[in-house]
Structure 1
Amino acid sequence: MKKICLTVVGLYIGLLAAFSQNKTDSTHYKNRKLTFDEANLVTSYYKQDGNNSAVTGGTGTENLNDISTSFDVKLNRWDKHNRKHTMDIELGIDHYTSASSDKIDPKTVSSASHADTRIYPSLTYSVENETKGTTLSAGLSVSHEFDYQSYGMNVSFAQKTHNRNGEFTARLQAYLDDLKIIKPFELRTAAEQQETHESSYPTASRNSFSTSLSYSQIVNERLQLMILTDLVYQHGYLGLPFHRIYFNDASEGVENLPGNRFKIPIGIRGSYFLGDRFVLRGFYRFYHDSWGLDAHTANIETVVKLTPFFSVTPFYRYYIQSAVRYFAPYSAHNPTDRYYTSSYDLSAFNSHFFGAGFRIMPPKGVFGMQHFNMLEIRYGHYNRSNGMQSDIITLNIRVK
């Protein structure tokens, strides 16, 4: 499997490098046909474990492995009014295996949710008017896996200030989702237990709408700041039908959550340049939602340029949240409660995420391949106060 992945990466670099040979080197001529600008290959391996699986009522293995790969190609052109048109085409593929999801039907050796593949293509088209300092963009996306289908759309507008030191951005997004109602096996009717074809499962809708606003400002030659906020509204089936609930009278049910959720995160991001070799980046966000969850996120990372072409980026993120008002652990819910969940993602906890990235951008290209202009590897370790831990390693290749 490792040899196959390396072969695919090699072919990807070779083909895109060959394609990019058609790109003109002239700084004066602006092509009015769509031409190759850059491409990115990002692939990662993620592994987690813990003992608070929502599939088994808040206790049990959370073991999960995920391999994710995305291909991103950017094409651009200039029209007769000197506006820059950019088309961004992306294809993502995730494949995971989950021990906890396999407990949906504990009587089988392996259920349909033990392993799944998610495919999510997207297309974004933008038009930038450099003279007016404006950018308009629109995008479409699709995501499909065994029990989930999502359709997304977005539009955005950006306006730079007169001196080009500031920029305001507004973005509208909508996701229209359908999910299959796959209950734990023991909670299905006799007829439902006999059905095994995926088309036999009933479905429910879940829709999400958001408005994102941000303003960035170059304060001086060393400091840049950005303020950002999102207004998010979700409506529909917001729980998961295979999350079990064990009540305090020994009865069993499935997670039940309100059909509406309103989220308000507000954040500030900053970058400070300490000479030519050091960049400090910081981020803070406060989050509140209508389910009673409050959270704080603080992140800091430092870019250290060991040479003009090689940099190391250590990072650390601290996160803390309160529980939603509907959470209780295993066997603690009252069967008379209106809403209930034992998902520890909605419990009170704090977490730490830390690691480092390594990036090389040699002037003659990575391994002497001129158009293979960037290679980055990042590793991060995550641990949560309830015992869940995870590791992720990511490889990013850019051809330009």
Structure 2
Amino acid sequence: MEEKQEEAAAVTNMENHLKKIVIFMCVFAFAKAHAQTAQEETKAYKKRVLETTEVDFLTSYYSQDGDNAAVSGGIGTEELTDVTGTFIVSIPLNDDDVLTIDAGVSAYTSASSSNVGPFDDGLADPFQASSGASSSDLWANITGSYSHSSDDRNDIWSTKLSISSEYDYFSLGVGGSYTKLFNEKNTEISVNGNVYIDTWNAIYPTELRPFGEGGAGLSDRLFTQNTITGNTNYNPRFTAFDSEGRNSYSVGFGLSQILHKKVQGSLALDFVQQDGLLSTPFQRVYFSDIADSFIDNFQLADAVERLPDSRFKVAAGGRLNWYLNETVTVRTFYRYYFDDWGITSHTASIEVPVKITNKFTLYPSYRFYNQTAADYFNTYESALSTDEFYTSDYDLSEYSANQFGFGVSYTDIFAKAHLWQFGLKSIDLKFYQYDRDTTFSSSIITAGFKFVMD
């Protein structure tokens, strides 16, 4: 009897252990399934890099003037106007990937470049525009870029391809970048690289073309139908460029750090190497040791700009942004630049956004720039015919410049105003006035509109 009771107790004991094991396994399986479901839900509902398609429309009107046109050897009008329009469409492909298409056109009218061929009509004069084909042009560009962000948003890879073209120039570019965020996203480092393969369709000043290979020289109709004054034995130093290609390679490094809850700083270092045709074929040069020749009031070129076929550039700079309060932010920038052509420059700027309402912000700004002259720069008629390299392009001269700007932006995070299926998120309007301590000055008005798809 006791043996049967012991056996029954043992069976009951075993059943209890089995029940415990089954319950444990059920709890474990449930916990595992719940954890997996939570992970999947977390992954499924992670924040997208870009929530919806965004469209930016940018436009600008630019105007400049001055008396040191490179097309006419450092003298003459620099008058130019330019109108641009650009669409930027950013499309989220999924939670992590974004495709961006940037397409734009720029149409300009230039009194300066019209004087590539100043003898097309009327009285030729470096301070008057000609009606030649080079008096206007259309520049077009399209760039496609793709970016991918890691699940934790701490790693970002991007790549891009760009094509641009105008009447005498074609450019193909490729590039890529990598950005790493760490220290709870308070620190960011980045590296980027770009390659541009460019080709000139070299266009030379009208009076030099007859002196190229196979040309008629002074027997050309330009000279037989017009009277040369001054030095009538016009004999320029002219040979067409052997190669019309130019390659540019750049690499850049960046570091951004949140220094304080109200202060953010960043540093950037960029290197650029250029090889190939770095001269502009239609920019004239006049030599001091050669007598002047004229048709009408226009001095005939002694040569075209000649510059080395390589150039190495280095730029280092930093930004410091200080959020003072809910109303005022201070943004500062400084950059130092130098290259192996002898130019060094300093750029400093400050912008002070002032938020006047929840939707409107004002943007006053100031920028100062100063540079030394390139080793090969010469003012009008100061180069020698024995020089190896020479230019009278005042962009390569010594000068200082000041730029004052003012802008206003409107932002509606709810995008209540609509255009078809797109809500208007922001409008930006800005004006900049730029003046050099030469005769050059310019102004530009820009407008930007950002739309988001509902």
Whether these two folds match at TM > 0.5 is yes
The residue identity in structure 2 corresponding to 1:163 is E
Specify the alignment match of 2:329 in structure 1: 279
Specify the alignment match of 1:393 in structure 2: 445
The SS at the match of 2:207 is: helix
Q: Does 1:52 align with 2:73?
A: no
RMSD in angstroms over aligned alpha carbons? 2.3
Paired residue for 2:387, among 323, 337, 340? 337
Specify the alignment match of 2:164 in structure 1: 143
Q: Does 1:262 align with 2:312?
A: yes
The residue identity in structure 1 corresponding to 2:172 is Y
Specify the alignment match of 1:182 in structure 2: 203
Give the Cα separation in 1 of the matches to 2:153 and 2:348. Answer: 35
Give the Cα separation in 1 of the matches to 2:52 and 2:58. Answer: 18
Question: Larger % of strand: which?
Answer: 1
Give the Cα separation in 2 of the matches to 1:257 and 1:312. Answer: 43
Specify the alignment match of 2:107 in structure 1: 95
Give the Cα separation in 2 of the matches to 1:56 and 1:366. Answer: 53
The residue identity in structure 2 corresponding to 1:87 is L
The SS at the match of 1:234 is: strand
Report the CA distance between 1:306 and its aligned residue.
0.3
Asked whether the 8 Å contact 1:35–1:75 carries over to 2, the reply is no
Q: Does 1:374 align with 2:414?
A: no
Cα deviation code 1:282-337 (max 9, x no counterpart): 00000000000000000000000000110000000000000001001000001101
Specify the alignment match of 1:69 in structure 2: 85
Unaligned stretches of 5+ residues in structure 1 = 1-26, 195-200
Q: Bigger CA drift: 129-138 or 36-45?
A: 129-138
The SS at the match of 1:376 is: strand
Paired residue for 2:54, among 21, 38, 41? 38
Paired residue for 2:144, among 123, 127, 130? 123
Give the Cα separation in 2 of the matches to 1:192 and 1:28. Answer: 71
Cα deviation code 1:122-163 (max 9, x no counterpart): 000010114161001110000000000000000111111142
Give the Cα separation in 1 of the matches to 2:328 and 2:426. Answer: 19
Asked whether the 8 Å contact 1:320–1:351 carries over to 2, the reply is yes
Specify the alignment match of 1:249 in structure 2: 289
Specify the alignment match of 2:117 in structure 1: 105
The SS at the match of 1:339 is: coil
TM-score by length of 2: 0.77
Asked whether the 8 Å contact 2:100–2:146 carries over to 1, the reply is yes
The SS at the match of 2:244 is: strand
The SS at the match of 1:219 is: strand
Cα deviation code 1:11-39 (max 9, x no counterpart): xxxxxxxxxxxxxxxx975799x984211
Specify the alignment match of 2:268 in structure 1: 228
Specify the alignment match of 1:302 in structure 2: 352
Report the CA distance between 1:211 and its aligned residue.
0.2
Specify the alignment match of 2:249 in structure 1: 209
Map residues 14-29 of structure 1 onto 2, 5 A cutoff: none
Asked whether the 8 Å contact 1:270–1:283 carries over to 2, the reply is yes
Asked whether the 8 Å contact 2:97–2:146 carries over to 1, the reply is yes
- Structure 1 residues 363 and 230, CA gap change in structure 2 (3 angstroms): closer
Specify the alignment match of 2:436 in structure 1: 384
Unaligned stretches of 5+ residues in structure 2 = 1-42, 122-130, 221-240, 292-301
Asked whether the 8 Å contact 1:149–1:177 carries over to 2, the reply is yes
The residue identity in structure 2 corresponding to 1:158 is T
Asked whether the 8 Å contact 2:243–2:277 carries over to 1, the reply is no
Q: Does 1:314 align with 2:364?
A: yes
Give the Cα separation in 1 of the matches to 2:61 and 2:388. Answer: 39
- Percent identity over the alignment is 36
TM-score by length of 1: 0.87
Give the Cα separation in 2 of the matches to 1:342 and 1:95. Answer: 25
